Amino acid sequence: MKSPFNNHPLPVEATFDYSLVLTYALPEIQLQGLIPAELKLDTHEGNAFVAVAMVQTKRLRPKGFPKFLGRDFFLIGYRIFVRYQTSEGKNRRGLFILRSETNKPQMKILGSLFTHYDYNTIDSKIEVNENSITVKSSTAKLDVHVETNPSEMELPTYGDGDPVFTDWKTARKFAGPLPFTFTRTDNTGEMLIIEGVRQHWKPKPVSVVKSEVGFLDSPQFIGHRLASAFLVENVDYSWKKGYVDKCP
């Protein structure tokens, strides 16, 4: 749904109960055609990356509004790690939006009015306990289960026994969310940029027991490899008012 207000006209804030991010690696050539020409893939050793972020928000509201006016939503975001050079020559590292999902029709309506995220409504069943998180959705064909306090922590490996990243420090660079989110607007030559602000953001690695993600079953993501999984809990997060940059 088009709206004259969907360039993120208001700053927004919320608390994240948790943000669980699974990062998948693919050859650069497979993702290049999914991003605007003005963006460049953010890569590591020939791989480009897609993040699947599952976030439980609390008290989501326009910045400065009382907390009791906020609403709770479960959100899923599918993003590509990218870089962008602004018209002023500043290099920005961030995420390009592929798809957004929510468990509440209200968020779909508000998202369509005030953002370009184009939310889809899904069902969700979430179980969170001391040692694990499970997220399921029949609509999104999603079934994810992670252990948050495993006895051993190793990077995901494959048939050849090699992980995508050599260590967790490198993997954390692709843990998301990054400071900036980019959306190519309908107007020729313009990029909408939304800056996120967070404090005490300390992602911890988690062990993935199951990771069925229906969105990645489409042909352009054939051969995707789980590269890492990180979790943050109980952090405040806000988004600044969006601004439009004239692409160089």
Q: What secondary structure does DSSP assign to 69-100, as a single string?
A: G-EEEEEEEEEEEEEEE-TTS-EEEEEEEEEE
Tell whether the model's pLDDT for residue 147 goes beyond 70: yes
Q: What is the pLDDT averaged over residues 190-199? A: 88
Report the mean per-residue pLDDT for the chain.
Answer: 89
pLDDT at residue 53 tops 90:
yes
Task: Give residues with Cβ within 8 angstroms of 21, minimum separation 6.
Answer: 51, 52, 53, 54, 175, 176, 177, 203, 229, 230, 231
User: Does pLDDT of 7 surpass 60?
Assistant: yes
Q: Give the pLDDT score at 126.
A: 96
Contact 26, 215 (CB under 8 A): no
Q: Are 199 and 235 in contact (CB under 8 A)?
A: yes
Is pLDDT of 113 > 90?
A: no
Q: Considering only residues 10 and 56, tell me which one the structure prediction assigns the higher pLDDT.
A: 56
Count CA atoms within 13 Å of residue 10 on its CB side: 13
Contact 102, 121 (CB under 8 A): yes
Identify the CA nearest to 24 among candidates 198, 196, 218.
218
* Percentage of residues of the chain with pLDDT beyond 90: 66
**Which residues are registered as beta bridge partners of 55?**
19, 75
Mean pLDDT (whole number) for 126-148: 96
The verdict on pTM exceeding 0.85 is: yes
Q: What is the pLDDT of residue 111?
A: 72
Q: Which CATH number fits domain 12-246: 2.40.400.10, 3.40.50.1980, 2.120.10.90, 3.40.50.1220?
A: 2.40.400.10
Domain ranges of the chain: 12-246
Instruction: Give the CB-side neighbour count of residue 36, counting CA atoms within 13 A.
Output: 20
Per-residue model confidence (pLDDT) at position 105: 83
Q: Distance between CA 70 and CA 191 in Å, rounded?
A: 29
pLDDT band at 205 (very low <50, low <70, confident <90, very high): very high
CA 69 to chain centroid? 25
Position 101 scores a pLDDT of 95
Please say if the pLDDT value at position 2 is more than 70: no
Structure tokens at 34: 């999914």
Residues 102, 118: Cα–Cα separation, whole Å? 10
Answer whether residue 3 shows pLDDT above 60: no
Q: Do residues 79 and 216 lie in contact, with contact meaning Cβ atoms separated by under 8 Å?
A: no
Three-state SS for 38?
Answer: coil
Q: What is the pLDDT of residue 152?
A: 79
Residue 221 is predicted with a pLDDT of 96
pLDDT average, residue stretch 46-57: 96
Which H helix or E strand runs over 154? none
142: helix, strand or coil: strand
